[in-house]
Amino acid sequence: MRWILLIATLFALVICFTRHTGGAMGAWLVLSLLGIFATVLAFVQARISASSRDDGMLSEYDLQQLRAGKEPLKHQRDDA
């Protein structure tokens, strides 16, 4: 979806600079500015969701261990 927004925004910018009347140029410029805002938010949302952890990643017990300052069971290393 974010790539479609990017393409649509670039298309709106191209159309904006090819119009000859001020009203059409202004309308396409406003649409392209809204598109830039939506595209940036879409890319930020994708970046945040890519680096966030899943809901079921830690059990309730593991969360209690973290709150108590101990290592959760799922993340203990077996390097010994």
Per-residue pLDDT tens over the stretch 2-20: 999 999 999 999 999 999 9
> Does a structural domain hold residue 80?
no
CB 66 within 8 A of CB 58: yes
Give yes or no for residue 68 having a pLDDT over 50: yes
> Does a structural domain hold residue 43?
yes
Tally the domains of the chain.
Answer: 1
> Does a structural domain hold residue 7?
yes
- What's the whole-model pTM score? 0.64
> What is the per-residue pLDDT for 80?
43
- By residue range, what is the domain housing residue 14? 2-75
> What is the per-residue pLDDT for 7?
96
> Does a structural domain hold residue 50?
yes
Q: Would you give the distance in Å from CA 76 to the centre of its chain?
A: 31
> Does a structural domain hold residue 22?
yes
Using alpha carbons, select from 47, 63, 65 the residue that is nearest to residue 55: 63
